[in-house]
Amino acid sequence: DSGVTQTPKHLITATGQRVTLRCSPRSGDLSVYWYQQSLDQGLQFLIQYYNGEERAKGNILERFSAQQFPDLHSELNLSSLELGDSALYFCASSVTLAETDTQYFGPGTRLTVL
C-alpha cells in the first residue's frame, strides 16, 4: 500500500459525459501527479500540482482539467468524454519537487466510456 488513495476504483459512463476522479496524496506529500495508462499509449504524464499550484503539463487534452485543494487532495475532471478516453488513471504523489523525491502511485481509477 503506497499511502495514495484514489476514488472511485471503477467508473463507467457514456460518451459526452463529465466525470471527476479524486486523489488523496500520502500524508505530508505536497506534489501530486496525474497519469493516464492505455493499451496504445502506455503510461503518460498528464499534469502536476505542487502545494496547490500547477507546475507542469504533459499530454493533457483541453477537455481535461485538474486542481489541487488546500488540503492537498486533487481532482481530475474529464469532460465531453469520448470512447478513446477509456483508460486507467493514476495519481502519484511525492514530498516536494526535489531531485531525490520518489513518486508513489495510487491504485488507479479504471474509466470505461461506453
User: Which residues bind to another protein, rule: CB under 8 A?
Assistant: 2, 4, 31, 33, 42-45, 48, 50, 55-56, 58, 90, 92, 94, 97, 99, 101-108
Query: Residue 2 or 20: which CB sits closer to another protein?
Result: 2
Q: How far is the CB of 80 from another protein (least distance, A)?
A: 25
Nearer to another protein, 64 or 90 (CB): 90
Strands 10-13, 109-113: pairing kind: parallel
Minimum distance of another protein from residue 15's CB (angstroms): 26
CB of 38 to another protein, least distance (A): 12
Residue 111 to residue 10: CA distance in whole angstroms = 6
- Give the position of cell 466525470: 19
**Identity of the residue, 20 or 88, whose beta carbon is nearer to another protein in the bound complex:** 88
Cell 476514488 sits at which residue?
A: 7
Minimum distance from residue 87 beta carbon to another protein (Å): 13
Q: Which is nearer to another protein, 16 or 109 (CB)?
A: 109
